């Protein structure tokens, strides 16, 4: 397969992922979070513990802006900083109990919308979809 053709399919796929992500997560945010704050909390939920620099890189934000948003999330009681006992200069960021509750509710709403999207798939098609997602995770979306 031509690499440019594969790349074009990848671009179309990632654009579709962003669109579907927006569609199924629309209006799940309560608690008065900005869209950016919700994305940060969501990232922490699936990747915790994370560092300030990991959040900054993932959100494509400067470190001062990331720090400011984390401070706001901490003030809302949604995340906490945990000092690494092996290196006291390093802090991990995790969700608080309130943050976990918020994300469990959000993911519950997203799961319902996801199920609606795949409702027409047969058991075999669901299995194929799961295998395709596993393959993409292993071959394309792995972390370095």
Q: What is the pLDDT of residues 9-20, one digit of tens each?
A: 999 999 999 899
Q: Which H or E element spans position 66?
A: helix 63-75
Q: What is the pLDDT of residues 106-117, one digit of tens each?
A: 999 999 999 999
Overall size of the chain counted in residues: 144
| Strands in the chain per DSSP E | 79-83, 91-95
Token digits of residue 130: 């799961």
Burial class (CB in 10 A: 0-12, 13-18, 19+), 40: buried
Distance from C-alpha of 27 to C-alpha of 23, rounded to nearest angstrom = 9
In tens digits, the chain (144 residues) has pLDDT values of 578 888 999 999 999 998 998 888 888 876 688 889 999 999 999 999 999 999 999 999 999 999 999 999 999 999 999 887 887 778 899 999 999 999 999 999 999 999 999 999 999 999 999 999 999 999 888 765
Bond prior to 49 in cis (omega within 30° of 0): yes
Q: In sequence order, which residues have a C-beta less than 8 Å from that of residue 106 and are 6 or more positions away?
A: 25, 28, 29, 38, 42
């Amino acid at each position: 397969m031509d690499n440019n053709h594969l790349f074009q399919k990848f671009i179309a796929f990632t654009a579709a992922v962003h669109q579907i992500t927006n569609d199924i997560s629309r209006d799940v945010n309560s608690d008065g979070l900005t869209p950016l704050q919700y994305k940060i909390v969501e990232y922490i939920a699936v990747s915790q513990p994370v560092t300030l620099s990991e959040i900054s890189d993932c959100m494509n934000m400067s470190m001062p802006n990331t720090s400011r948003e984390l401070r706001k999330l901490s003030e809302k009681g949604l995340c906490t900083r945990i000092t690494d006992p092996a290196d006291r200069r390093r802090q991990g960021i995790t969700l608080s109990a309130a943050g976990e509750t918020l994300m469990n509710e959000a993911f519950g709403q997203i799961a319902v919308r996801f199920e609606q999207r795949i409702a027409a798939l047969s058991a075999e098609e669901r299995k194929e979809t799961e295998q395709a997602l596993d393959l993409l995770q292993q071959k394309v979306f792995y972390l370095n």
